[in-house]
Amino acid sequence: MCGTCDGSGAKSGSKPVKCSHCHGSGQVRERVRTIFGVMEQATVCGVCQGSGETISDPCSSCHGKKRLRKKTNQTVEIPAGIADGVTLKMRGE
């Protein structure tokens, strides 16, 4: 999580607003008339990418992504007999 914006993605003093395209639902419904009748399809909103909110003034540290990538060195105990490609969860990360 970005420490500058506390994970909001917005610059301090501003905050994300409800997406005007999907009205905060994160989805856009489209109706298409076909020879079989009217079909309705829900797709992810292209403006807010499904979040339901837009950031007009993004954070200068995370650029509106709400998190920062950082490298750390950690010691991890790998259980005996674990298969290749298994994902291990780490508490507090």
pLDDT score recorded for residue 22: 94
**pTM of full prediction above 0.85:** no
For the chain, domain boundaries: 1-16+55-70, 20-53
- 62-71: b (≥16 Cβ within 10 Å) or e: bebebeeeee
- pLDDT, tens digit, for every residue of 51-85? 999 998 999 999 888 888 888 888 888 889 999 99
User: How far is the CA of 82 from the CAs of 73, 76, 77, 79, 91, in angstroms?
Assistant: 21, 13, 11, 6, 19
pLDDT score recorded for residue 52: 93
Structure tokens at 63: 């650029």
- Cβ atoms of 4 and 62 closer than 8 Å: yes
Question: Collapsing DSSP states into helix, strand and coil, what is residue 3?
Answer: coil
pLDDT band (50, 70, 90) for residue 93: low
Residue 91 has pLDDT above 90, yes or no: no
Length of the chain: 93
- pLDDT, tens digit, for every residue of 23-52? 999 999 999 899 999 999 999 999 999 999
pLDDT score recorded for residue 12: 85
